[in-house]
Amino acid sequence: MSTVPIVTASGASLLRSHLVGAGGAGMSAIGAILLDRGAQVSGSDAKGSHVLSGLTARGAVTAIGQRAENLDLLPGGPTAVVVSTAIRPDNPEVVEARRRGLPVVHRAEALAALMVGLRSVCVAGTHGKTSTTSMLTVALQHARLDPSFAIGGELNEAGTGAHAGTGDIFVAEADESDGSFLAFAPHGAIVTSVEPDHLDYHRTAQAYAAVFEQFVDRIAPGGFLVAGVDDPGVQRLLGAVRGAAAHGSGGLPRIVGYGRSEAADVRILASHLHGHRGTADIGLPDGSHLELSIDVPGEHMLANACAALAAGIQLGIDPDVMVRGLAAYTGVRRRFEYKGRVGSIRVYDDYAHNPTKVTAAIAAAREVAGDDRLVVLFQPHLYSRTIAFADAFGQALAGADVVVVLDIYGAREDPRPGITGALIADAVPPGSARVHYLPSLARVPTDVADLLRDGDLVVTMGAGDVTMLGPALLDELSRRADRPDGGR
């Protein structure tokens, strides 16, 4: 693809971009699209990963470790340095960029620049963003529209989370965690849910809800909003934006509700789960019905598919074409992703990291497990989230038969004295699941293997490095299975 000017709202050229933290899902997506659009890309990350290697394979110049000299990876150096909120101001590459007078651009501003001239659809919400974005993307691909997309995960079908398409639609996951989705002015938006989260940044539930109101206000004139009307937070959001419009402080986008509620325009009238599959009878605004079928488990996934269907209809796609496309969706990496089995023990991995997501993931896993035991290895993410939601996590995890709570993955936060995964382990109600607290990650494969029995379905769950434990556990189980006594 030939190079075309890509300029941010602040005037920074992305012709030669350096990405700090290039191995992150959101940052690597921007890098991939920039490369597809003919830009030159360099980047670095603190450690190597398959994501960073994939970006290198696409043509980026990358480095492991973050140093000032990485800004010279491209001939002539970068025209802009792209960062996320997770990158601290004292990062050596950021410090060097400012010393050189280079523009330091937030990744959301860079992504917004890539959307210019296209019909963008931004998918926001406390939970369900990645799956809904992925479903809409796959359905549009099957409609032969070749959309551009940027997703916080890798599509099972494509093996990537980003692509610069030849069509006029751009589908993007919109991150509310730091309010950066306010950089977008989309043609259309999906809001799946609004439930307090990321209080390390937003501080209060009220401030978190308010940023969604500002996001909806950013929808372009004549655009649309697909809203999950079953969610109380979305109901309050719609009340607020309608109230603001009634008082003359702005116009309303075309609002299309989806869900089970009678208020839904695209409504789930009935649904059935069959192990890994789900089907739903969907009622459309014109009174017609259609059957929606997806090859991923869980009622929440049917709701996400309903959102994608509603958005596709707003984009002018025939509903039957959308349904056929959604039937081809097979999931995204780290969303109830099958990792393997040893004997009759199956292992999956899931990104769920707030109470509602954990509840939904456990319900979906329970459907697949059937009468077998469900064993969940949960890694809390962020000290602030653990403090705020320990009790809710305990209630959510009670849906499993056996719960193994690991220590906290701090990510961008520094440790806090006395705040550990034990807070969540202690919050699981007595008499529900059997609970174990294992603070040593290195011991988890052997200790968990000791707990397992034939038929168990195991889910590693969380937003941190818990994803590494599934393969390690399978290796441990394989070693034991190869022993003459079966490892018992």
379 and 415: one domain? yes
CATH number for the domain harbouring residue 180: 3.40.1190.10
The residue ranking higher by pLDDT, 247 or 80, is: 80
Neighbours of 106 (CB within 10 A): 18
Known catalytic residue at 173: yes
261 in any annotated domain: yes
429 and 476: one domain? yes
DSSP for 283-348, written as a single string:
E-TTS-EEEEEESS-SHHHHHHHHHHHHHHHHTT--HHHHHHHHHT---BTTSSEEEEEETTEEEE
378 and 243: one domain? no
Domain boundary (280, 308, 327) is at 327
Q: What confidence tens digit (pLDDT) does each residue in 327-353 have?
A: 988 776 777 788 888 999 989 898 888
Task: Please tell me the distance from the alpha carbon of residue 133 to that of residue 30, in angstroms, as a whole number.
Answer: 16
98 and 221: one domain? no
308 and 436: one domain? no
Task: Please tell me the distance from the alpha carbon of residue 188 to that of residue 284, in angstroms, as a whole number.
Answer: 19
Q: Which of 93, 109, 154, 173 is flagged as catalytic? A: 173
Domain boundary (107, 128, 152) is at 107
Q: Beta strands 277-283 and 289-294: pairing type?
A: antiparallel
8 in any annotated domain: no
Domains in the chain, number: 3
Known catalytic residue at 129: yes
**Among 283, 292, 279, which residue's Cα sits nearest to residue 322?**
292
Neighbours of 475 (CB within 10 A): 14
DSSP for 309-327, written as a single string:
HHHHHHTT--HHHHHHHHH
pLDDT beyond 50 at 2: no
pLDDT beyond 80 at 485: no
Task: Please tell me the distance from the alpha carbon of residue 244 to that of residue 22, in angstroms, as a whole number.
Answer: 39
90 and 239: one domain? no
Q: Which of 8, 79, 126, 130 is flagged as catalytic? A: 130
**Banded model confidence at residue 160, pLDDT cuts 50, 70, 90:** low
Residue 384 burial (CB < 10 Å; 0-12/13-18/19+)? Answer: middle
Q: What confidence tens digit (pLDDT) does each residue in 231-288 have?
A: 999 999 999 988 877 766 667 899 999 999 999 999 999 999 887 788 999 999 999 9
* 20, 94 contact by CB (below 8 A): yes
* 266, 309 contact by CB (below 8 A): yes
Mean pLDDT, rounded, for 151-163? 64
* Residues in Cβ contact with 215 at an 8 Å cutoff, skipping those fewer than 6 apart: 122, 124, 174, 176, 181, 182, 184, 189, 191
308 and 357: one domain? no
**Banded model confidence at residue 367, pLDDT cuts 50, 70, 90:** confident
88 in any annotated domain: yes
161 in any annotated domain: yes
**Among 275, 321, 262, 283, which residue's Cα sits nearest to residue 301?**
275
Maximum Cα interatomic distance, the chain, rounded to a whole number of Å: 77
76 in any annotated domain: yes
Which pTM was predicted?
Answer: 0.75
Q: Which of 96, 129, 154, 359 is flagged as catalytic? A: 129
Q: What confidence tens digit (pLDDT) does each residue in 315-324 have?
A: 999 999 999 9
Domain boundary (47, 81, 107) is at 107
Known catalytic residue at 137: no
43 and 123: one domain? no
178 and 37: one domain? no
345 in any annotated domain: yes
Task: Please tell me the distance from the alpha carbon of residue 233 to that of residue 192, in angstroms, as a whole number.
Answer: 10
Residues of the chain with pLDDT > 90, as a percent, come to 61
**Secondary structure (3-state) at 63:** strand
196 and 298: one domain? yes
72 and 159: one domain? no
CATH number for the domain harbouring residue 34: 3.40.50.720
344 and 456: one domain? yes
Cα→Cα distances 186→111, 170, 190, 438, Å? 12, 9, 10, 44
